[in-house]
A and B are shown apart, each in its own frame.
Chain A
Amino acid sequence: MIARELLWSRLRAAALVQGDVPPRDERAAPWYVRLMLGIAGWIGAFFLLSFVGVGLAFVTRSGAAQITIGVLACAAATMMFRAAKGDFVTQFALAVSLAGQVLMAMGLGELLHPWERSWQPVAALIAIQQAALFLLVPNYIHRIWTAWSASYAALMALGETFIHLAPALAAAAFIGVWLREFQHPRQASLVRAAGYGLAITTLQCAVLSGSLAQALIWGAGFDASGARQPWWWVNGAMAGAVLVAGVIALLRREGLALASGPAKSALAGALVIAAASIKAPGLAPATAILVVGYANGNRVLAGLGVLALLAYLSHYYYALQATLLEKSMLLAAAGVAVLMARFALQHWWPEAERA
């Protein structure tokens, strides 16, 4: 690990910065402190909602009242965030905003009756609501949450027929944002918050693709595995194609010719995982999180990718699309193919000789 001063002097020697080391940013916090604040914000929001539910009982009966109070709460929270100086005001604004978002969503549900009709309009409206809050509220934790919820709601708005494309779409958005992380340094926080939100959505879509959890939302008749659709394999193939396209974009960013040894090795690995994803659609998005995290030197993101891979494999055991025997054959073939990709790597890209 490089100390701050040493890092600065290195950059100065490379003529990238000037002057003395700047003072530390007092607001910077490690990811787990932000995660703690986010969870505590939700606990606070839960009690604020209970306060509204018990104290203003009429609200629980009227969708219009829920939306009105929700909008007011989010507007007040936005003003607090924008004017905020202290930790208490920020944390209070977070809880108020979360409670307001829940109220607005409940109000939409009350007015549009998604249980009897369709979930799509509610999901679309929630996606717009969360996207607007993402732009309006300049708070990092809040932006990760709104990016996550907006993107997940947008995927839900696709409806039963296209929901199976969610892993591919989420992974594409995720890769698109993170590969541009260094292009807009002045908006780095905004880009990163969007990126983490999309990372969680991608993880969710990868791990829960074709699961019972979705059948609960879409109703008993929902084809959770997607296997009854005549073109079911397109979903996994799309997820795999997104991984391959992402690897090509990454190779371009790193300035590597596609015919070079490293590029051929990386593509061989990506193609093998993409092929396995046709039957196991979570593999490609999970791998994408890991690879992009590593490419950007982001260990938290890379760790999330490892978690996604392990979680997907455990989930795959219970997933409905095939018998255990078929899944076993697929995994064995994929394992052997991955090993072959590793031999290809050693052939095309031999380890540099040690000096």
Chain B
Amino acid sequence: MAQARSEILEWGERGLIAPADVRRALEVGEALPTLADWRRFLDRLLLFLAAVLLAAAVTFFFAYNWNDLGRLAKLALAQLPLIVALALLWRLGLERVSGKAALLAAALFTGVLLALIGQLYQTGADTFELFAAWALAIAPWVLVSRFAALWLLWLLLANLAITLFFQTFHGVLGLAFGPERQLWLALALNAIALALWEAAARAGVVWLQERWAMRLIATACGVIVTVLALMAIFAWHTSGWGIAGWLAWMMVSYAVYRHAVKDVYVLALDALSLIVVTAAFIGRQIRGYDAGEYLLIGLVVIAMSAAAGYWLRRVALESEA
């Protein structure tokens, strides 16, 4: 659908399709939604919007921490939407989109309930424990959900738990658990998730074959590994392994996304990472305050990005063919 759209618009721009015919050409090429598509779209938009709005309403309500309401009333109030969502899920079943929306809402309500318990009983638990418990609690649902968005939510919770864990213990364990360790762990988590996801998608698991989700995880990996490389280059209290990790990511992701999976998005991400790391590396070597050096780095960045743009276009063309 997306491809037919851009081809037809390009042909129209080159004058191969008469201006008055472009709209019809888009319809013939199935690039525009039909009336049936519109109905499905509107139906889902309203459904998911309602689920998200209601979940946000419940979250905001408990964040307000209303004192006029007793503990039990609050707990009951927090469990009510959870029960409603689960009842809806039970009635609708997991195969329907509305069932999946109900499950997503139930997963969000679970977090609200856990947060409320922490708020009411002052368990002394740290914030990371909330996210860890939340991730654990919804894990069985995620496993059976066959729903990409829910898996992403779970991965986000796991990432938050790790980040907050290291923030909590930063003061206690100091050097051993600095920001670098945190980044390495987050990188490992996301890289494993990405590898498993890609493997499952290739093995033919249809509901996991949504490229946007894999691209999102790959973006997280690319950003983390680039930050690690920059930390190593500028020696911000690091072990120096950042460069090795970055090189490994670049090589593995190139091999996978150039040959096995063919996703130019990740290759473009790698190209940008290469440009940033190279510019930082040269800047660090020069260390100077000479104008010519800045010009040199600027020209290197421009030349590299021009070459990357040329190469990525070729790869994109060949993977289309």
Contacts and interface: CB of A to CB of B under 8 A. Distances in A.
B49 A37 contact: no
20 contacts: A4-B7, A28-B313, A32-B269, A33-B268, A36-B308, A47-B301, A54-B290, A86-B306, A88-B303, A90-B306, A92-B302, A185-B17, A295-B32, A313-B53, A313-B56, A325-B66, A328-B57, A336-B54, A339-B46, A339-B47
Contacts of B299: 44, 92
B33 A297 contact: yes
Interface residues of B, number: 89
B62 to A, nearest CB: 9
A294 B264 contact: no
B292 A338 contact: no
Interface of A: 1-2, 4, 7, 10-11, 14, 16-17, 22, 24-30, 32-33, 35-37, 39-41, 43-48, 50-52, 54-56, 86-88, 90-92, 95, 182, 184-189, 192, 262, 265-266, 269, 273, 287, 290-291, 294-300, 303, 309-310, 313, 316-317, 323-325, 327-332, 334-336, 338-339, 341-342, 345-346, 349, 351-352
B170 interface: no
Contact of A297 (B31, B36, B45, B316): B31
A57 B130 CA distance: 54
B307 interface: yes
A43 B279 contact: yes
B63 interface: yes
Interface string B291-321: 1101101110111111111101100110010
Interface in B16-70: 16-19, 21-26, 28-33, 35-36, 38-39, 41-43, 45-47, 49-54, 56-58, 60-61, 63-64, 66
Contact of A342 (B43, B52, B66): B43
A269 B46 contact: yes
Nearest to B54: A335
A186 B19 contact: yes
A317 B60 contact: yes
B57 A331 contact: yes
A33 B22 contact: no
A92 B306 CA distance: 8
